[in-house]
Every structure is written in C-alpha cells, then in structure tokens.
Amino acid sequence: MRPYVVGGACHRVQKQLDTSLSEGALSLSAELNAHAERCPHCGPALRDTEALFRRLRSAPAGVDLGPVPGVVDSVLRQIATPAAVHVTPVVQDPSVAARKRRQHTRWVIGQVAAIAAALCLALGGVTYLVLKANEAVSGTSPGQVVQRWVAPLQDWSQALFQKTK
C-alpha cells in the first residue's frame, strides 16, 4: 500500500470530500474519481458521501403530501374572514415599558461604573510603574514621592486646623 502523501491523490480526494460536505454537493474530477475507485482509503469515504447525498436528496420525494391540500384549504378559508386579514397592532403594556427602561438604565450605570473602575485600576498601575522607574533612576522611593505630592495638602489642612482651633 502506498503511503499517504500531502498533496497526493488521496489528500486531494479528502479535501474535495471535505469541501463537498461544506457545500452540500459532491463534485470530483474524473482523475480523482478514478483514483478513489481503486484506492482502499478513498473508495469507502467517497461511497459513504455519495450514499449520504443520494439519501438526503431522495428523502423528500418519499414524503406523503396527503395533508397539504387540507391545510391549504383551511388557510385559504381562514384568510377569507376579516379577522385574519388585519394585523393586530402590538400595544405595549406601560408597566412593561417602564420596567424595560429601568433595566436599561441599570445596565448603562453598571457599564459606566465598570469602565470607571477599570480606568482607576489602569491609572493606579501606570502611576506605580512610573514611580518604580523613578526610584530606579533617582533613588527616591515611591512613598517619598507621594509624600512630597501630598505635603502641600498636609500643610494646608494643618493651617486650617490651627485657624479653626
């Protein structure tokens, strides 16, 4: 038995059979067909696929269409009455509409909160990284930098406290 070669006839038959399953139609060139007929790998796969397609195509032909005329008559009789003719207008219950609006508002608030939280986390992370980089360059620890940043605020609050006292 010859080995399976990528790009060889067996491989091409397999590819064609795969394509035929995606398309729902089998078309094999004469050359590949001739190969499949004598190949012990491709032959059964081709025959199974052909049988499947044949059975799928023949299945609807065997369906008993007995109920169809009755259904058609019944539908045509029903549409002859005015009740079936007009489309019932879809009137939405106000309480349902209000509930839907509330749900939508809650959803929007949730989305905004989630985005804000994500931004805060990202900003915090970036600040920490910058401070770490700064520590590596200048030797000043992140804590000291933050202390320097909040020092004016501390002075201001102390002054305010003194004044109030």
* Contacts with other proteins, residue ranges (CB under 8 A): 18, 21-24, 48-49, 51-53, 55-60, 62-68, 70-72, 74-76, 78-80, 84-87
The residues, ordered by sequence, that sit 6+ positions from 141 with a Cβ below 8 Å of its Cβ are 135
Least CB distance to other proteins at residue 74 (A)? 6
- Smallest separation, CB 45 to other proteins (Å): 9
CB of 13 to other proteins, least distance (A): 15
- CB nearer other proteins, residue 40 or residue 139: 40
Confirm if 13 and 32 have CB atoms less than 8 A apart. Answer: yes
CB of 93 to other proteins, least distance (A): 22
Cβ distance 45 to 13 under 8 Å? yes
CB of 71 or CB of 136, closer to other proteins? 71
First CA to last CA distance, the chain: 102
Task: Give me 9's structure tokens.
Answer: 């006839």
Reference 27, options 38, 8, 13; nearest CA is: 13
Which residue number, 37 or 48, has a Cβ lying nearer to other proteins? 48
Q: How far apart are CA 70 and CA 76, in angstroms?
A: 10
Q: From the CB of 136, what's the least distance to other proteins, in Å?
A: 51
- CA 135 – CA 98 distance, rounded (Å): 55
Nearer to other proteins, 47 or 100 (CB): 47
Residue 70: which residues within 8 A CB-CB, separation 6 or more? none
Which one, 3 or 62, has the nearer CB to other proteins?
62
